[in-house]
Structure 1
Amino acid sequence: MSIKGVCFLSLLLLGACFGAIAQDSIRIYRLLDSVRALPNDTAKVSLLLKKSGANARYFESHKIENPFAQDALTLAQQLKYAKGISLAYNEIGTSKRNKSLYIVAEDYHEKALKAAEEINDTFLIVFSLNNAGVDCRRQDKLQKAFDYHVRALRLAEKINDVRNICVATNSIGNIQLTTEKYADAITHFNHALELEEKSHNDLGIAINLGNLGYAYQGQNKLDLAIQYYKRSLAMNQKMDRPIGMAICYNALGAAYQEKKDYQSAMFYLKKALEVNDKVDDKVHVAESYLSIGKLLRAQGKHDEARKYMMQSIDISNFWGFKAMLMEAYKALAADFKESGDFRKSLDAMDKSLLYKDSILDEKSAMALTQMQTIYEVDQKNVQIRNLEHDKVIGDLRTKRNVVVTFFLAAFLIMAIVGGFFYIRHRNLKTNKQTLQLELRSLRSQMNPHFIFNSLSSIHRYIWSNNQEEASDYLTKFSRLMRLILDNTQHTFVTLNKELESLRLYLDLEALRCNGIFEYRFNVDPEINDEEVLIPPMILQPYVENAIWHGLVHKQPDEKGLLDIEIVLKKRSLICTITDNGIGRKKAMEIKDRKGRTHNSVGMKVTEGRIDLIRKINNKEAKVTITDLEDESGQATGTKVTIVLPAEFIF
């Protein structure tokens, strides 16, 4: 096709498409307005992202920012919706990559990765890693790209994300293909091909077949490479995919040229030229003309070769394909040199170098622009906020009198409400201080109460046992006293210290009662007893009550058992004390027969402490006592459940 034919076809296409483009523009921006009118919530973010993907091609073809994606990112940030932030960054990053803004794209995809990692969303992490890897590969940062894709592959395999496994595997293969590690590349392409075939993804199958062809051609296994190119071509023909067919035809042409089979090479290159007429991007047409020119040059047909090269140059000049112009002039220079026309060869090489310098300058300028874009993103957000602020100020000026009246009324209301809450807060603070003093007073009562009971026990123990055992008992008692006196100086102690004192107390009571009972502690493994805090001496009175009113009255042939369980549920520490004693009813009968009227001071003080803890913290704190019975209604023991608000060191 001549350059005039290309121009005429382009004008026809522009005229035919102009009306459709205008209609698309109206439809898309009306849709944007309707979505913007919806309430600001996560559902709106999802809808904006959906519409962004559906209309991405329109905005990319017009080389303008996608407002759906930008609105989704802004709203997700306002809502602190991390998943939406990650998806929006991925969407914008991909659009930047499609515009060859690889540095900006990598920055967006790394931000998407960070947002995904904050919520530990494995699928989004894998998706972002693969996107960042592609960005790095386009910048020839191959090691960084490889690391991204390997991380993505490992995570994708854990969650069986087949789509991202294929993407990562194929990308790793392409990196290995670029670095000429053909055997490794073939392994990865075969794995990706197997997955794509299981998923019945024709496009993925076609791409991996073509990649296998490139790898085998790199190993100089040309016949095998041609087989894979033809299989890829068949898949692209099945899908009626012109760009894929053109790629396969060009690859076949190059392979046959390498085999010196120039007739077959020319056949496939002309096939590529025919198919490229159906491809929107005319760079492929220019590439086909150049490939045919190079093939003819290899056969020594210099005049005919130059005609095709010049056609490639004409098309590239019209569309501004500088990279293709650089390659075409370079090929033309080589052809003139082989023909002995060194002056024209030098002229053509000068033009090739001129375009090469221009491309390098453009790349440098683009890199600088992208870095500035990254730096200015936050500044742009600030400017948007400032513009919104200026708009608000303008609206306020038009309604100044109403606003002033409103603020005066609001100020008066706030002053009244603020005064009310200040007085209420002051009263609550005073009440809390009173309750804390009362709690401290009750806590201080525990020391003399416990010491009195323990001294009574020592007195009885000395009279009923020998002096050596009494001395041992007294030694343990002194250790317990030091621990108790130290613990009760504090409002809270760590759980391990409280349990240490409780174990020591139980050891003394077991000795004193000649081993008539056993005890067990069961602390939830998830509890760190060095960080969890508990009021001191809060469990001991209930343990003491279980021993002396439940377990000591059991029959001599029955072994007593005391279970102490501590678990953490949400923000509550639940302590359960269970005994297999005679039960409260029989204990009361024994007490009545002996004519005792004494009430447990420890129990009363502890109940008062728990009630004050509930009032001070305004959280659940209670004691529940349950009588245990068997199926026939006979008492089997007592269970005491103490619920306290969980407190921690940190």
Structure 2
Amino acid sequence: MKFIYTSILLFLISTLSFSQKKNVDSLIVSAIEKKESSYFKLQKHFKRVRFKEDQIEKLLKESQKNNYVIGEIFARNVQGRSHRNVTEYNKSVEKYKEALNLSKEIKSIEAEIVTLNQLGVVCRRQDKIRGALNYHQSALDIILKVENPTNDIKISNSITINSIGNIYLTLGQYERALEKFSESIALQKQLEDRRGLAINHQNIGYAHKNIGDLDLALENYQKSLEYNRLNNDKLGKVICHNSISDILIKQQKYNEAYEYITEVIESAEEIGNRYYLSEVYNTLGWSLLKLNRLKESRGYLDKALKIGIDNNIPSSLVLSYDHLSELNEKEENYKESLDFFKKSIEVKNKTFNAKTIRYVNSLISKYDSEVNNNKIKSLARENEISKLKLLRNRNILIISLVSIALFGVLLYSIYRQRLLKNDKQILLLEQEALRIQMNPHFVFNALNSIKLYIINNEQKNAVYYLNKFSKLIRNILESTTVKEVALSEELKTMNLYMSIENIRFSNEIAYNEKVGDDLNLERIKIPPLVLQPFLENAIWHGLSSKKGEKKVDLTIEKFSKEFIEINIIDNGIGRDAAFKIKSSKSLNRKSIGIDLTKERLKNFSNEFINTYSLEYIDLFDENGKPNGTKVSLKLPIV
């Protein structure tokens, strides 16, 4: 009896498969017969069809045989998508470029827009951000030139905006990404595009996750899942379950996360998209790790790692290495844990360099909506000039050209004035920062301390510190005339500063400087007096209320080829205790130097490929009690 049921089931499956193949074949035949000129109508003709490799090849050959170029473009795009879904990105790009060239040859705007967007998606998957941006921007330029866009063009517009939002996600510009996704959602709601709404809510969830709004992220992932259920989109459901499970792990709901991700394991393996399969394996492995099911966890994480390595998926590799590092730490395999951690950092650094973040960020600012409007206006002006050339005589044309030239000069003048204004603001900011850096209270108290030496007839001490004070003031005044100084000069000034401040603490503060042997302090340049506010905070907030030994250590070492790291470490009472003391005082010292210093560091970093970073680290002793504060400042040197 069991054999009979099995035979019937196999017969039904084979019949259904044959029926589906016959249906696809008939759709190919009817498409070749109709020779639909609209790319979007041809897409709808094959709506929900999942082509097999031989069927795509048949569509391509029949289209070529019957000189049906739109059909050939569609077939090559389907091939590109098939290669992309199994992470064969180079083959995917090759097929999409063939489709793009054909689209340009026959001047099919619809096919060109779709293909450009698909190329952008592949580049983004490979972390080739510059290429992705160029392809999506080219698609957007074409769309904006269409006078009366159809609903299909509007859907393509929303896809392009969504893709640019995804680029912002990759660059970590989450607020700008959310603006793009909101813009895309508004279009999709008008068009009732449920698939687009599912994708956008997924992207919005990802942005909120990275901002730290886990509840909002979860809410948007669940909205996306609802749309994917309505669309019966298996891959969409897999992506949503994976994202929801990730949030639940971060919320420490490990059992719930495990249940969510296991629901889609079979679907993910059946679909075969290696990019998302690696993500699912990583998330499942991570949830098992949190549940201390370490052996099972390792199995799935190893699977995810193999897919990431075989298919060169950087984002998957980073997750696999991070989770395997945590797993080995739990198993007390500390060497392996460290090795995986280093590999994760290495992949992150490679990805960072490949994106050339600073270049792309500056490029993005040129591709926002305002520039697109300017391009349209520019085209309108060019059309107007062309009409004037045909309708007016030579004299009128010459006058028009002169007027345009004058207008250009005026625009250039306005542009130059704005540049000068910005430069002036930066200069004023730096000068204001330099003036405010040296707190007037410090000058007053330092003079009072020196005065005390004079009153007590301690002439040597008075003269000694007065000389130091005069040198410090001279250094400050000289700093106002320069934008940057050698690091060696900055250290001398800080040494003077700490000597004067130490008078009020009866020279109880032990100030030490330690510089790496591989550093040339004369060649390294930094903004003048940029370290003073951090030393002032260490003294006034960390050490002024501390009893016993007081010390401040300033260390400088080469962090990498591109950065130096400056650490200011005090053994004070810690930030929490300092804040409580400050809150209880009726008159608080206002530290405005730090905010100004951050602005100066930002302006200073603009001249380098990399940017600065500033981190405050609370220090604790072996008993877990506050034991001071560490300020870590990384400055670019190339």
Smaller-chain TM-score range? 0.3 to 0.5
Give the TM-score of the pair, scaled to structure 2. Answer: 0.43
